[in-house]
């Protein structure tokens, strides 16, 4: 995930993903209405299997039931099946292109996939339809940031900070934006303002994350170290320090991330980065094991498939690498590096025509990346 900000607000913003209840629009005697109502109750109770079955039954008899489509997408999102959620949301938008709830859910799904180029037009549409929607504007700014529109993103974060002064999470986002602009003092002030509202360990932890996201790895390591000095068991501190060490290709990364996994064996991010760290050490079998555990916990994230595919290539198992890399490319179709590795795997299996198509896609995407980089520099 490179320099990607771990979007701290995503877990809370996901809570606003809209659950739509259309039962009142149908009479109680209607079988679809009864099924829908039962499925909504199951979704609210966290019984996703029953909710999924119920919404699918509604759609069999009422294929254009936008409430069933939206909520089925929500089931898929909450069970980390984003590759299934996104086409369902798209289908719902085909019925109502400006539906605010569906737009929010679709945009959040793209953010969870780190597909910010796809999220950007979704949130642009939503903010145009609902300019007072602060979470949507925050997500729009985040999408702008990730697509190279740093100046626009920072301006939007600053405006949001004035309108929502009690949202301390914006201070974190602002600090990362300032660091990307090399406005070190402004970033420091934003983080100091955050620190006045947070306990010392949390303040150091947020500084670690911000400096990592801003590419200031030495400062990030130091703040993570301070976090662990204050509270050796602070949740996520070993993981964040390990991520910084991975970025520095430090051999201590795997040790730090192993500590993070011991602290929380169900943390998919810690498992993912541990797999990446082990790959850096050429420990391919161990890396595969960690990445496979991460994939089971977060099956909708492209990175797990990508690095699993790379591990299989290193283990001289290209036939096993191909479906993994194909899945990664399906989940993140704008990343040229995925198609490059896929092309290598296909070539190694003798599928020369498919390999050439993958490499052609690499050339197309790299040309697009260069164009986007040039436009981003003009906007700075």
CB-based contacts of 126, cutoff 8 Å, min separation 6 = 100, 103, 104, 107, 133, 136, 140
* Burial (CB count within 10 angstroms: exposed 0-12, middle 13-18, buried 19+), residue 251: exposed
The answer on pLDDT for 25 being more than 80 is: no
Helix axes 217-230, 200-213, angle to 10 degrees: 160
Instruction: Quote the pTM value.
Output: 0.84
At residue 1 the predicted structure's pLDDT band, cuts being 50, 70 and 90, is very low
Determine the pLDDT at residue 4: 42
Find out whether 99 and 93 touch, Cβ atoms under 8 Å: yes
> Which CATH number is associated with domain 322-380?
1.25.40.10
Determine the pLDDT at residue 368: 85
Section 281-292 average pLDDT = 98
At residue 29 the predicted structure's pLDDT band, cuts being 50, 70 and 90, is very low
Percent of the chain with pLDDT over 90: 82
The answer on pLDDT for 380 being more than 60 is: no
At residue 11 the predicted structure's pLDDT band, cuts being 50, 70 and 90, is low
The answer on pLDDT for 8 being more than 50 is: no
The beta-carbon contacts of 293-298 under 8 Å, at least 24 apart in sequence, are 294/268, 294/269, 297/80, 297/266, 297/268, 297/271, 298/80, 298/268, 298/272
Domain boundaries, the chain: 1-139, 322-380
The answer on pLDDT for 2 being more than 90 is: no
- Higher pLDDT: 102 or 3? It is 102
74-102: b (≥16 Cβ within 10 Å) or e: bbbbebbbbbbbbebbebbbeeeeebebb
Residue with tokens 């099924």: 35
Question: Which of 1.10.150.130, 2.60.40.1760, 1.25.40.10, 3.40.50.300 is the CATH number of 1-139?
Answer: 1.25.40.10
Query: Nearest 10 degrees: CA dihedral of 152, 153, 155, 156?
Result: 120
Residues in the chain: 380
- Higher pLDDT: 86 or 33? It is 86
- Distances from the Cα of 199 to the Cα of 5, 230, 231, 309, angstroms: 22, 10, 11, 41
The answer on pLDDT for 12 being more than 90 is: no
CB-based contacts of 331, cutoff 8 Å, min separation 6 = 82, 83, 113, 300, 301, 302, 305
CB-based contacts of 353, cutoff 8 Å, min separation 6 = none
d(CA 132, CA 142): 17
Q: What confidence tens digit (pLDDT) does each residue in 184-242 have?
A: 999 999 999 999 989 999 999 999 999 999 999 999 999 999 999 999 999 999 999 99
Do 1-139 and 322-380 have matching folds? Answer: yes
Section 147-172 average pLDDT = 93
Which pair of tokens denotes residue 129? 């339809």
Determine the pLDDT at residue 77: 94
Determine the pLDDT at residue 294: 97
d(CA 358, CA 364): 10
- Distances from the Cα of 368 to the Cα of 152, 359, 361, 364, angstroms: 21, 14, 11, 6
Question: What value does the CA radius of gyration of the chain take, rounded to a whole number of Å?
Answer: 22
The answer on pLDDT for 331 being more than 70 is: yes
The answer on pLDDT for 157 being more than 50 is: yes
Which pair of tokens denotes residue 236? 């996520």
d(CA 380, CA 151): 6
Find out whether 37 and 27 touch, Cβ atoms under 8 Å: no
Determine the pLDDT at residue 373: 60
Section 247-274 average pLDDT = 97
Determine the pLDDT at residue 374: 58
Which pair of tokens denotes residue 27? 């009479």
Determine the pLDDT at residue 370: 78
């Amino acid at each position: 995930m490179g320099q990607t900000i771990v979007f701290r607000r995503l877990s809370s913003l996901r809570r606003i993903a809209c659950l739509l209840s259309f039962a009142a629009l149908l009479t109680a005697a209607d079988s679809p209405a009864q099924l829908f109502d039962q499925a909504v109750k199951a979704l609210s109770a966290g019984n996703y299997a029953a909710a999924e079955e119920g919404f699918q039954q509604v759609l069999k008899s009422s294929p254009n039931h936008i409430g069933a489509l939206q909520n089925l997408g929500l089931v898929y999102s909450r069970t980390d099946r984003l590759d299934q959620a996104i086409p369902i949301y798209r289908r719902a938008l085909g019925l109502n292109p400006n539906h605010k709830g569906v737009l929010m859910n679709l945009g959040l799904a793209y953010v969870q996939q780190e597909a910010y180029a796809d999220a950007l037009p979704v949130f642009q549409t939503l903010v145009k339809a609902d300019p007072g929607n602060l979470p949507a504007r925050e997500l729009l700014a985040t999408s702008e940031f990730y697509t190279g529109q740093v100046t626009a993103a920072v301006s939007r974060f600053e405006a949001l900070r004035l309108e929502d002064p009690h949202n301390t999470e914006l201070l974190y986002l602002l600090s990362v934006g300032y660091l990307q602009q090399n406005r070190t003092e402004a970033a420091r002030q934003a983080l100091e303002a955050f620190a006045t509202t947070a306990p010392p360990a949390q303040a150091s932890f947020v500084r670690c994350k911000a400096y990592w996201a801003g590419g200031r790895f030495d400062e990030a390591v130091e703040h993570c170290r301070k976090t662990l000095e204050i509270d050796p068991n602070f949740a996520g501190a070993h993981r964040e320090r390990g991520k910084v060490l991975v970025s520095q290709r430090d051999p201590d990364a795997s040790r730090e991330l192993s500590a993070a996994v011991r602290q929380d064996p169900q943390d998919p991010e810690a498992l993912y980065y541990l797999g990446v760290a082990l790959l850096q050490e050429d420990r391919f079998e161990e890396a595969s094991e960690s990445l496979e555990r991460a994939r089971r916990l977060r099956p909708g994230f492209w990175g797990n498939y990508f690095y699993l595919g790379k591990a299989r290539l290193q283990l001289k198992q290209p036939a096993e690498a191909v479906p993994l890399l194909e899945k990664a490319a399906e989940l993140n179709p704008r990343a040229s590096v995925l198609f490059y590795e896929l092309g290598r795997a296909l070539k190694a299996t003798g599928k020369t025509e498919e390999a050439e198509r993958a490499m052609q896609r690499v050339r197309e995407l790299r040309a697009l990346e260069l164009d986007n980089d040039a436009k981003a520099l003009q906007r700075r």
